[in-house]
């Protein structure tokens, strides 16, 4: 006998990144009492997110790379070896 209602209910929600004023509509199992009118004229629940592709340093190109050396450099420093 197949199991009934084992999957969570999905709905369209607006994910909103306030730091970048960026929002996108996607299907999710999340629920929120806060709503927002979308571009299509319909009202959807809003899920606020801290980081999105519009504000994450990797996607914005503002990522800092701190290179402290790899294992070989660490070995050479430990044993005072010159290159």
> Is residue 1 a part of any domain in this protein?
no
Q: How confident is the model at residue 32 (pLDDT cuts 50, 70, 90)?
A: very high
For residues 33 and 62, the model is more confident at 33
Measure the CA–CA gap between 59 and 47, rounded to whole angstroms: 21
Domain count within the chain: 1
Residue 6 within any structural domain of the chain: no
Predicted pLDDT of residue 40: 95
Taking the complete model, does pTM exceed 0.75, yes or no?
no
Local confidence band at 19 (pLDDT 50, 70, 90 cut-offs): confident
User: pLDDT class for 71, splitting at 50, 70, 90?
Assistant: confident
3 belongs to a structural domain:
no
The Cα–Cα gap between 13 and 30 comes to 8
CB 4 within 8 A of CB 15: no
Its domain, for residue 36, covers 11-78
Closest CA to 39 of 23, 51, 27, 54: 23
């Amino acid at each position: 006998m197949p199991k009934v209602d084992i999957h969570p209910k999905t709905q369209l929600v607006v994910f909103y990144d306030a730091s970048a004023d960026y929002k996108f509509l996607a299907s999710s199992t999340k629920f929120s009492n806060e709503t927002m009118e979308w571009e299509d004229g319909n009202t959807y629940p809003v899920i606020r997110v801290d980081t999105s592709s519009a504000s994450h340093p990797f996607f914005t190109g503002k990522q800092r790379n701190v290179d402290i050396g790899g294992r070989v450099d660490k070995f050479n420093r430990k044993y005072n070896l010159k290159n």
